[in-house]
Amino acid sequence: MNYPTISKTEITDDERAEAVNDEYGAKYTKDWLKLIEGPENLTSYTIKEGTKVIGDTAFWCKNKIKSIILPDSVTSIGYFAFSDCTHLCSINIPNGVTSIGEEALDNCSALESITIPQSVKNIEHGIFNRCKRLNNVNIEGNNFYVKDKMLFSSTGVLISCWSYEKEITIPYGTTAIDTEAFIFCRTLETLNIPNSITTIGFRIFWGCTRLKNINVEGNNFYVKDKMLFSSTGVLISCWSKRKRISIPNEIIVIGDDVFNDCNSLETIILPPGITSIGNNAFSDCYNLEYINIPNSVTSIGEEAFENCKNLESINIPDNIAYIGHGAFSGCYNILGLKIPNTLSIINNYVFLNNTTLNFIEIGNNIKSIGDGAFEACESLKSINIPNSVTSIGGEAFRDCTSLQSINIPDSVTSIGDSAFLGCESLESIFIPKGTKEKFTRLLSNYSEYLKEI
């Protein structure tokens, strides 16, 4: 997995381990500069003076809270910081806050009024989604503006919509629609998009269960068969409920989250020119049984097919160069896989919980097998690691309960903790002659299984 750089609103493991509590049970970092988690079971709370950062998810789902007072010292508010506080009706944003994370106030359904001070320079997507009672958003300064229950940046980016109208017209002059801008607009039936828009983010219509029509002006985007496409060949969104969907031949990219949670989808036909499948593109498509992945595909994103429980086979293209973290995790019914020679890294948790997988052929160019890559592949009985591999991650084969033997080449110089923990059927770890001392160090807990060949 490509782990992001720790942001100042993200809570690190060390910060959680060293957290201190105030008299109400709220958790702060030991220097009292960052609020990690708000108190439980209070209806009102005043955050301590001197706090600079409201951490990610600090008050997430704290449904009893009605009033939160932020001190003037706060400069940053993390993502989901107050999300799903469904009884929150009073909160102040101090003049000094410069950034507000994504969906920070999402589903604060009791909130009626809020002021955004002129100090705020950056607001991430979805801040007011599902705030159904929010009627008064007072914007100080010129960095943002509100129109028809939609929040825009001064550069014309539509950041969030909390309108419950059946038909919404995006005003001309809007330049972009941010990710998840219309998420859970459950009453939306018709959306009118002006030709001033040049960029549309992903996952914008997730949860828009009544959406029927999207009218697009200009040539930047078009709609076909309840799918939204860019003129550059990107499939941006789908709101079709059909069981079988064919993607037009001109499309080259399946965007992030396009078919996420499309439980009606059983068969998807991709055109021969597709080059990229985005993050979560087909995740949680529980009834997906068939997909053809053409050899033109070079990239499959993170968790792209996670929890596609009915998918019985998958062809990994011969030209694949990247498969993201958890791409095929939870695909319970896949029996066998062949990883081509074009791939150099098996990322973390790619095949996690593929419980019926009983055959895997690893390509000769693989250099690294990530953490938990084959964890809980309970039907896998044997595996051969090619001599291109130099590292095997922690828990890589953990709980592969049927695994009896594995061949590890001399090229391997690093094996992570608990790589074979729970492999209760393991009988043999085959290693090259003359390497027993080396692998005894690398596999000190499994030395009894080492067999030189």
Q: pLDDT digit string (tens) for 218-238? A: 999 999 999 999 999 999 999
**The two three-digit tokens of residue 320, written as one number:** 């694949």
CA angle 373, 376, 382 (to 5 degrees): 80
Q: What is the dihedral of CA 137, 141, 145, 151, to 10 degrees?
A: -60
- Decide if pLDDT at 2 tops 70: no
Q: How far is CA 90 from CA 37, 51, 110, in A?
A: 18, 19, 9
How many Å apart are CA 366 and CA 388, to the nearest integer?
6
**The two three-digit tokens of residue 390, written as one number:** 């130099």
Give pLDDT, residue 313. Answer: 87
How many Å apart are CA 61 and CA 47, to the nearest integer?
17
Confidence band (pLDDT; 50, 70, 90) for 5? Answer: very low
How many Å apart are CA 354 and CA 367, to the nearest integer?
22
CB 83 within 8 A of CB 103: yes
Report CA 3 to chain centroid distance, whole Å. 12
- Decide if pLDDT at 4 tops 50: no
Confidence band (pLDDT; 50, 70, 90) for 15? Answer: very high
Confidence band (pLDDT; 50, 70, 90) for 7? Answer: low
Q: What is the dihedral of CA 344, 345, 346, 347, to 10 degrees?
A: -150
Could you report the per-residue pLDDT of 303-328, keeping only the tens digit for each?
999 999 999 889 999 999 999 999 99
How many Å apart are CA 421 and CA 444, to the nearest integer?
12
Confidence band (pLDDT; 50, 70, 90) for 3? Answer: very low
For the entire predicted model, the pTM comes to 0.88
Could you report the per-residue pLDDT of 150-177, keeping only the tens digit for each?
999 999 999 999 999 999 999 999 999 9
Q: Given CA atoms 431, 432, 436, 440 in this order, what sign does their dihedral have?
A: negative
CB 176 within 8 A of CB 204: no
- Decide if pLDDT at 22 tops 50: yes
Residue appearing with tokens 């801040």: 127
CB 123 within 8 A of CB 159: yes
Could you report the per-residue pLDDT of 371-429, keeping only the tens digit for each?
999 999 999 999 999 999 999 999 999 999 999 999 999 999 999 999 999 999 999 99
Give pLDDT, residue 165. Answer: 95
SS3 state of residue 67: strand
